[in-house]
Structure 1
Amino acid sequence: MNAVVILLLAVVLGCSPAAAQALRLPSPPPARFEPVPGTRLPLDAILRDDEGREVKLASLFDRPIVLVPGYYTCPNLCSTLFEGVLQALALSGLAAGDYRLVGLSVDPRDGAAAAATRKRAYAALLPGGAADLTLLTGDAATLAQLEAALGYRAVPDAASGQLAHAAGFVVLAPDGRIAHAFSGVRFDPAGLRAAVKAAGHDAPAPSFGQLVLLLCAHYAPTSGRHTGAALAGVRAGVLLLPLLFLCWLWRRRGGRT
């Protein structure tokens, strides 16, 4: 009995406000990346390319665009993200000219010099080289419009001068709409190929079987495991198929048991 009383007291004390306060985790930074498919980017936005020339965003949309937001002076995540995109593109089987790879600095302090430095490093890893790569910079107001359309928010850190931000990129259709979004820093080349082809309207809508296969292959690179949705879909299919077979058999027999 004494052991039960001690256990109950421990539970009560553990649930006290003081204990809850001690266990409360700090809030994550308000950075986000939540693109909404179908959202159109402001194509009249004026930016600057890696040579410092003014570029109207619409002028880049002669093919699907793989757009990677970040910033060129980032010492941590951005280069890892961009290298992950380059690796997936190199392994995707996409040919030069199938897409345009565009980097977008969300830091208005970045200029053409920083963009040019990154371009020299990245172009060597891209199948189409520099011809298929454009790195953009812009002023604060223009970047704010683009970030809003992308569902993207980077938060300045006053202590370090860096930007807290999420990792991911979007595939854009030639009319400027968001066709697909990818999160993380490592990506499935086949999934990226399918997204680019679909954005360019070169691929038919996937069949039900293809959707199931894509779901089952939905791999989370950050955890090294298949996603919960994929596993749930597989379990549901295992349970549902026998039931559908029994219903078919019952109907075939005219509803007789």
Structure 2
Amino acid sequence: MRFVKHLSSPAPGQGGSRTRRSLTALSLLALCLAAPPARARLVQADLARVAAAPSPGARAPLDLPVTDARTGRATTLGQALAGRPTLLLPVDYTCGNVCDPMVSMSADALAATGLPAGGYALILVGIDPRDDAAAARRMIRETLGDRADAIALVPLVAAEAAVARLTGALGYTAIYDADTDSFAHPAAALLLAGDGRVARVLSPLALTGRDLRLALTEAGEGRIGGLADRLALLCYGFDAVRGVYTPLVQRILAVAGIVTILAIGLLIFGLTRLTRRQAG
């Protein structure tokens, strides 16, 4: 079983308050801390390359040859999209760490949109070409269970060359770590218009039904959002031997902790003043 720790920040333009973003960060931190340990061997220069940063006008190659993991039939990415606005989620089918909640939370958000299943698609694409259709079906069964039938879910597997072509076109960079047999990759979902254009980059760990409904509606109308977002890996550097995070991650976690404490303090201060006013 391959494990990798990765953590992303919600992309700008998704809506939501600073408080919700802080709570999201805390929930993601909990996921990382609860995950089985992995030995991070990639250096900072490698991790700096991990991102989802599509260039303006980026478009998924619709003629890309893929295999539908559910049916085992060869098809193309364009046939899988079928002209629908699509949430494309690159995943490692055997990751067993953050990939599972990414898929689960994306499915929940799609179900909460209230949109008919035929009006959109959730497409999973395996970034590890060694993962076959059986691995994809096993992940879906263990992660979604019966919920998979309630959404327009299309799990795909592809050859190494096809995966490289797709990720290159989308500006999606994942780095393989041979020492841990795992992929360092951004926790990112790409919202595609029906013609394959990248409309937005979203964090699947911070999606809400309301926000996703709006994003899918805009993508269905062909409106493309800003693509300046960069979802970078932040939580890969856990040293399992020493049981501590690397200095970069330690600094990030320290800053996040300080911000959280200040936010809680401001909330308590505001509630105290409000209580005194009401009492007076």
Return the TM-score normalized by structure 2: 0.59
Number of equivalenced pairs = 183
Of structures 1 and 2, the one with the larger relative CO (CA 8 A, separation 6+) is 2
Aligned ranges 1:41-190 → 2 under 5 Å? 41-50=60-69, 51-62=71-82, 63-121=84-142, 122=144, 124-126=146-148, 128-129=150-151, 132-183=152-203, 185-190=205-210
Cα pair 1:95 1:127 within 8 Å, conserved: no
Q: What corresponds to 2:53 in structure 1?
A: 34
What CA distance in whole angstroms lies between the structure 1 residues aligned with 2:169 and 2:224? 25
In 1: Cα distance, 2:120 partner to 2:56 partner: 18
Match of 2:221 in 1: 201
How large is the Cα RMSD of the aligned pairs?
2.8
CA distance in 2, matches of 1:37, 1:49: 29
Contact 1:72 1:110 in 2 (8 A): yes
Q: Is the 8 A contact 1:173 1:199 kept in 2?
A: yes
Q: For residues 113 and 127 of structure 1, what CA distance do their matches in structure 2 show? A: 17
TM score, norm. by length of structure 1 = 0.64
8 Å contact from structure 1 (residues 90, 127) kept in 2: no
**2-structure distance, mates of 1:175, 1:143:** 19
The SS at the match of 2:189 is strand
1:155-214 deviation digits (Å, cap 9, x = unpaired): 111211011111010111111111111035221321111111111119x999xxxxxxxx
Residue deviations 1:36-90 (CA, integer Å, cap 9, x gap): 4531111111011113221111112221111101110012111121112112112
* Structure 2 gaps, min length 5: 1-42, 226-255, 260-280
Q: Structure 2: which amino acid aligns with 1:124?
A: D
Cα shift at 1:28: 6.3
The C-alpha deviation readout for 1:194-235, integer Å capped at 9, x for no partner, is 111111119x999xxxxxxxxxxxxxxxx799xxxxxxxxxx
Corresponding position of 1:21: none
Q: Distance in 2 between matches of 1:47 and 1:39?
A: 19
